[in-house]
């Protein structure tokens, strides 16, 4: 049977520090540990024990049918495993970071994250753990400049003129940039603003049609 747990956080047993450091997400958790190990409370256990516990508890979130209803059970188990009452706050805060890094988490995991946030967002480790979350937002391509758009648009003048005659072009331009391109003649039937600057010798007109169809 195929595991419900993402391969990157699947827990199959205790991993050594060297194994965990091969994983970028686990490495970021080591960095978090170094920031909180002495403040506000000194943490006596080793970071690899903590991170194994984080992965183990995340593994359980995926395997259990309704993890958000078992928050108290997980908290009790974490305290028992780590032997420290405040470990629950740290493990849950780090587990939230791990869940946030998963792509397209199932509904039950989203509900679990909401439960963790509601219960632990005031704890002393929450804010520092949030700094480790990298939002997985798609990189937006930079918008082409107006000059680039017009250069592309005017590349084929014959096609442009046919497009304008068909009433499919609506151009609004408000720039101060100098436009460079091979333009012999440009005629817009109607535009809010025509091109402000063109090459010397080029003919640029701004025609405005009134409601009776006259210029």
Is the pLDDT higher at 202 or at 7?
Answer: 7
Rg (the chain; Cα; Å): 30
State the pLDDT at residue 7: 84
State which H helix or E strand residue 21 sits in: none
- The C-alpha atoms of residue 180 and residue 197 are separated, in whole angstroms, by 9
Confidence of residue 204 (pLDDT cuts 50, 70, 90): low
Rounded to 5 degrees, what are φ and ψ at 206?
-125, 110
pLDDT average, residue stretch 180-209: 53
Residue 186 φ/ψ, nearest 5 degrees: -135, 125
CA atoms within 13 A on the CB side of 204: 14
Looking at 3-12, 18-27, 78-87, 151-160, which range is the least confident one? Answer: 151-160
Q: Between 141 and 130, whose confidence is greater? A: 130
- pLDDT digits over 136-187, tens only? 344 444 454 445 554 554 555 555 555 556 555 454 545 455 555 565 555 5
Q: Which residue has the higher pLDDT, 156 or 61?
A: 61
62 vs 204: which has the higher pLDDT = 62
pLDDT at 99 exceeding the cut of 50: yes
Query: Taking the complete model, does pTM exceed 0.85, yes or no?
Result: no
CA angle 172, 142, 195 (to 5 degrees): 25
Residue 10: the pLDDT is 87
């Amino acid at each position: 049977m195929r595991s419900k747990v993402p391969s990157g956080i699947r827990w199959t047993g205790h991993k050594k520090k060297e194994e965990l450091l091969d994983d970028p997400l686990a490495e970021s958790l080591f960095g978090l540990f170094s920031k909180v190990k002495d403040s506000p409370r000194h943490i006596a256990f080793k970071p690899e024990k903590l991170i194994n516990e984080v992965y183990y508890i995340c593994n359980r979130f995926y395997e259990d049918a309704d993890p958000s209803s078992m928050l108290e059970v997980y908290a009790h188990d974490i305290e028992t495993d780590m032997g420290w009452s405040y470990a629950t706050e740290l493990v849950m805060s780090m587990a939230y970071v791990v869940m946030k890094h998963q792509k397209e988490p199932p509904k039950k995991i989203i509900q679990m994250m909401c439960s963790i946030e509601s219960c632990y967002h005031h704890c002393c480790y929450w804010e520092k753990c949030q700094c480790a979350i990298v939002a997985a937002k798609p990189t937006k391509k930079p918008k082409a400049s107006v000059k680039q758009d017009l250069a592309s648009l005017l590349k084929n003048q014959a096609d442009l003129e046919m497009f304008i005659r068909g009433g499919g072009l609506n151009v609004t331009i408000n720039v101060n940039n100098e436009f460079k391109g091979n333009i012999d003649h440009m005629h817009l039937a109607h535009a809010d603003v025509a091109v402000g600057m063109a090459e010397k010798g080029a003919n640029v007109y701004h025609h405005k049609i009134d409601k009776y169809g006259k210029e």
